[in-house]
Structure 1
Amino acid sequence: MLKFIMQTLNLRIAYDTNTLIYRFKQIPIIKNWIPQSLYGNDGLKSVFQVISILFHIVGLFLRKILYALLMIFLFQSSLKSKDGNILLTVYFFLTIMGAFCNNEMISASKEKYYTVTLMRVNAKKYALFSFFFDLIEQMVGFLPVYLIAIFGFHLPFYLLPIFILFHISAKLIGAMVALKYYEWKKKMILNNWYIMLPFYLLLFGCAYGLPFIPILVTPILFSVIAIILFLIALLCAIPYLKKTEIYYRLYRSEFTFNVVLFGTKSNQKEMQKKQYEKMIDEGRSINTSKKGYEYFNELFVTRHHSILTKSAYRMAIIYLVLVVVAGISVVVIPVMGERLNRILMTFLPYFVFIMYFSNRGSVITQAMFMNCDHSMLAYRFYRKADVILNLFKTRLKTILKINFPPTIVIALGLPILLYLSGGTSQPLNYFLLFISIIAMYVFFSVHYLVMYYLLQPYNINMEQKGMLYSIVSSVTYLVAYFCIQMKVPTPIFAIFVIAFAIIYALVALYLVYHYAPKTFHLK
């Protein structure tokens, strides 16, 4: 077993080193100084091995600290409270969520594909080693976070081992549940959004909603739950993970399907095509009087109904249920009504993140490229300025139409909830709540399509290679996330959002009309 561990670690180090060299070769200034022969130069490669290991160690701590800062500490500071129970509550629910959405046992990766599928390493041994090695890394990486939580928020020191126990137990149970589901249904539980989306929304809502009620997880309650989970992990999860023989089938079917996309460029292209072809509704009829490029766009939307329109309606239904539940709650429980009223009058920035999450712009533009523009941009007539601009206008209408159902539920739901929770002395606030959500909806719809046309990030092999596109996308996410931490009076923030959305839309459309014919092409 020791020999197997050493071999696997060497494989992992070799993979990380080659990946680091490859990334350095993608940097314009540096790539000319790195010869292709470096991959076979043992001396220079040893230097990159050391750098790779250092990057891995530093990254291990930085990722955990950054996660805690963005997801826990900033939320705590926005409440202007040093109550450690709030921190425990957020950590508790996010960790349960992470037991499924960020579990090494069921996460596909290039390394797993290379190691098990190509190099024929024993799937069960590798899966268990990779999983438990990740648990050790998680335990070490989170130590600084746990110490900050204990000393910074005055939590009892005995929680240090309890934190570790809870985290590891949640991961073990999450792995067991996921593998049992795979044995039962022959598919990954993460791909079943009918189960996972409500589950994630419930946990996310509990993490950031319960502190406002407040219903909080105390150190004693946290410790009791951690011990119960540990017993379940010890008596059920660990024996199951050691006994089951599902790993080889899992790696050969699910992980190969996902990770083979990282193989040769021809394979990548074919597999991505197959993925999108499965989502095309070729049997759907289209009844429209539209002609030309408008008909062309209508045909595209109709055939991609399942990944575009259908998902937007699902989201609208979820939001409608939440609005109805919240409305009933504030009427039945007056205390909740008072709290919700204060939230609606100061937490409008929070809905920037919700609208970011709700917008289908990135999914729509990706589908446009994979199943339309990737082929059509090869023709000269399709790259003409008038064609690009006319299709842009048609597509902007389409994105606005697709994003409208969840938007209108939120835009109408917020003023209604404000009224039911006690109302406001300024009737204008009802209008500002409504129109500010509409402004966010317009902004994100325009933003994603404009980015696609000005920064077209995909190359001919369907790979997303646009560095600037990735940077702008990351900045968009960070700005939306940091809005969660803002507490600004609703009228002030609403006026700012409306003005910003109008100015941004005008500037963005101007840039598209002047530069899209030059930037929208295959790379």
Structure 2
Amino acid sequence: MWHDIIFMYHVSMTKKVNGLFYFLQKLPFLGKKIPSRIYQFIRLKKILSIITFIFSILGSALKNFLYLFIFYMLPIMFLYIKQDPIPRVQMQQVFFLTFTILTILGACTNSKMWTCDDETLIMIKQLHMESKRYMLHHSLFTYTINTISLGISSLPICMILMISPVYALLIAVVYFCSHLMMDACYLFLYERYHNFILFHKAYKPAFLMICLLLAYGILFSKITISFGYMCMYIFTLLSLLGIVFAYRYLKTTNTYTAVMRRIIQDYLSMGLNNDTNVQTLDVALNEKDYSQSELKQNIHHKKHGYQFMNALFFKRHKRLIYKPIKHRLIILLVIMVCVILSSFFIKDPIDKSDLLELMPPFVFFLYMLNISQRTCKAMFMNCDASLLHYGYYRTPQAILTNFRIRLKALILYNLPVTILLCILITVTCFVYHISFTPQTIALFHITMFILSIFFSVHYLFIYYIAQPYDEKLEIKNPLMNIVNGAIYVLCYLCINLEGNLYFSLGVLAATILYLMIALPLVWHFAPKTFHLK
């Protein structure tokens, strides 16, 4: 077992280090100084593999901490922190119960044993590893790493709840046991029925909704839960006992070869190893979406060149783009109706004395409402991935012309959501008697519009400067993930900041500065960087 785990570790880390070398070679200025023989430096690759492994654990721990904090701690603190005295025992027990329910949900919907990717094909197809050895040992290795990172990230949560660090160990054990036992259940069901029953498109969403409603229903209903610490320890011991039987079954069953053959067949039949990726499914076109009027040649007869091409692209992708916009508008309208109706029941105004105090959370809210990232993916998959094979499409004039046309379109597409958000803000001010002046509400609305333009420019800027996708829509340039991750963190951190005039002016100034830097960079570097990977 350990030999297989170490071997898979080397393959995985080597793939990541080679990807890092490729990325560095594509950087301007620095890339030319990195020789092609760098791939032969075995000692350097071993050192970087260890560093990459350590950072992957730390990154996973950070991701798990954000997951625990956002989906567990924030709702719990919102519901219980204002009570006097704070019911810490109730908070701890609700946290543990909610975590257990959602962990079972994660075990059912996010199994590592039943996934297939490039590494799976390398290990099974090219290196001819036995299916049983790969599936069992790969899942054990992945779950162990996630368990360690989850245990590390749980320690700060335990400190916030003022409970024993032993809880972090219990949380990690519950995660590991639930995932391995669920893998055993999946294998047993496949062995019995020769089908992925729980992966059925009808069962999986139903189970997802049941678990979410159960977990957050218990949380937000504030049901008094009373069970001692001994019950948690007994539950953990039962989980450990269950994993003994699960592991015994996983070691003795001979279903792995048939399962792996089916998984790889499904993976390849979806085109995931050729032209598309799972990530393309939300931006892929459906021929049924076309109407006869949209297929007519003379819809945009007054436009020519790239204006005609982009107008045709956005016309034929209007359902792909309009659908998320429509969903966002409906959500905002529902929120507005709830705000108006709640005014009849909540007599006290919101605990905000000035409109600008509402600014910080709306920065993150507007970030979540923006559709530019999805649209950029659609641009690449359904347009640029094919046209970038032709030299005329890679000329500076063509690239910059398309950038200008698309930027204008993205700004216009995000405009309705921004307008309705500003209306929602104004309605909230009137309904809850939040004080404002014409100057402050004008500043608030201007900042929202500038932020909407910022997010439109940002995603298109990263798309043209980094061009992170290959023809399978896999992200080959990590710069996009790094920058987008930084923007997400900054927007999320804004929630906890104090809203005032200085914050609003600071956001406005930072946004304008970013736009002043990003646009010239596109004009200068996009003709050199916008190409197929």
With the length of structure 1 as denominator, give the TM-score of the two structures: 0.71
Matched residues, number? 494
* SS of match in other structure, 1:450: helix
Correspondence for 1:312: 325
Correspondence for 1:332: 345
Change (3 A) 1:441 1:172: farther
After TM superposition, list the pairs within 5 Å mapping 1:23-34 onto structure 2: 23=19, 25-26=21-22, 27-28=24-25, 32=35, 34=37
Correspondence for 1:393: 404
Deviation at 1:428, TM superposition (A): 4.9
* SS of match in other structure, 1:307: helix
Measure the CA separation in 1 of the matches of 2:215 and 2:368: 13
Measure the CA separation in 2 of the matches of 1:466 and 1:115: 24
Measure the CA separation in 1 of the matches of 2:202 and 2:45: 36
Contact 2:4-2:133 within 8 A present in 1 as well: no
Correspondence for 1:134: 142
Deviation at 1:393, TM superposition (A): 3.1
Note the alpha carbon deviations across 1:45-82, whole angstroms, 9 max, x for none: 7x8557645753x3464235423555567987x99x89
Measure the CA separation in 1 of the matches of 2:332 and 2:231: 34
What letter corresponds to residue 106 of structure 2 in structure 1? A
Contact 1:418-1:424 within 8 A present in 2 as well: yes
What letter corresponds to residue 302 of structure 1 in structure 2? K
Select 1:251's aligned residue among 263, 267, 271: 263
Deviation at 1:445, TM superposition (A): 0.8
Measure the CA separation in 2 of the matches of 1:349 and 1:159: 33
Contact 2:340-2:431 within 8 A present in 1 as well: yes
Correspondence for 2:192: none
Note the alpha carbon deviations across 1:316-342, whole angstroms, 9 max, x for none: 32343344345544543457x635x57
Correspondence for 1:183: 197
* SS of match in other structure, 1:488: coil
After TM superposition, list the pairs within 5 Å mapping 1:293-442 onto structure 2: 293-329=306-342, 331-334=344-347, 338=350, 341=352, 346-383=357-394, 386-424=397-435, 426=437, 428-442=439-453
Correspondence for 1:41: none
Note the alpha carbon deviations across 1:230-255, whole angstroms, 9 max, x for none: 97998899869968988436622444
Measure the CA separation in 1 of the matches of 2:165 and 2:20: 43
Measure the CA separation in 1 of the matches of 2:428 and 2:377: 35
What letter corresponds to residue 486 of structure 1 in structure 2? L
Deviation at 1:215, TM superposition (A): 6.0
Contact 2:353-2:434 within 8 A present in 1 as well: no
1:114 equivalenced with 2:122 (yes/no): yes
Contact 1:61-1:141 within 8 A present in 2 as well: yes
Measure the CA separation in 2 of the matches of 1:307 and 1:108: 27
The runs of 5 or more residues in structure 1 that have no matched partner are 39-43, 262-266
Q: CA-atom RMSD, angstroms?
A: 5.2
Q: Once the two structures are aligned, what percentage of the paired residues are identical? A: 24
Contact 1:358-1:406 within 8 A present in 2 as well: yes
What letter corresponds to residue 35 of structure 2 in structure 1? N
Deviation at 1:399, TM superposition (A): 1.2
What letter corresponds to residue 251 of structure 1 in structure 2? I
What letter corresponds to residue 313 of structure 1 in structure 2? K
Contact 1:61-1:142 within 8 A present in 2 as well: no
Deviation at 1:148, TM superposition (A): 4.1
Select 1:159's aligned residue among 161, 167, 181: 167
What letter corresponds to residue 321 of structure 1 in structure 2? V
Note the alpha carbon deviations across 1:312-367, whole angstroms, 9 max, x for none: 322332343344345544543457x635x579753522232332232222222232
Measure the CA separation in 1 of the matches of 2:320 and 2:229: 40
Measure the CA separation in 1 of the matches of 2:321 and 2:495: 27
After TM superposition, list the pairs within 5 Å mapping 1:39-188 onto structure 2: 44=42, 52=49, 55-56=52-53, 58-59=54-55, 61-67=57-63, 70=66, 96=102, 99=106, 103-105=111-113, 107-116=115-124, 118=126, 121=129, 123=131, 126-151=134-159, 153-156=161-164, 159-168=167-176, 171=179, 182-183=196-197, 186-187=200-201
* SS of match in other structure, 1:310: helix
Deviation at 1:450, TM superposition (A): 2.8
Contact 2:339-2:431 within 8 A present in 1 as well: no
Measure the CA separation in 2 of the matches of 1:118 and 1:230: 41
What letter corresponds to residue 421 of structure 1 in structure 2? Y
* SS of match in other structure, 2:359: coil
Contact 1:105-1:131 within 8 A present in 2 as well: yes
Contact 1:338-1:421 within 8 A present in 2 as well: yes
Deviation at 1:444, TM superposition (A): 0.4
Change (3 A) 1:150 1:373: closer
Change (3 A) 1:116 1:501: same
Measure the CA separation in 2 of the matches of 1:72 and 1:162: 14
Change (3 A) 1:117 1:455: closer
* SS of match in other structure, 2:162: coil
The runs of 5 or more residues in structure 2 that have no matched partner are 190-194
Measure the CA separation in 1 of the matches of 2:130 and 2:448: 53
With the length of structure 2 as denominator, give the TM-score of the two structures: 0.70
Deviation at 1:171, TM superposition (A): 4.3
Change (3 A) 1:93 1:456: same
Contact 2:328-2:369 within 8 A present in 1 as well: yes
Note the alpha carbon deviations across 1:152-200, whole angstroms, 9 max, x for none: 652145534542354346646876999989526645988x7x997x899
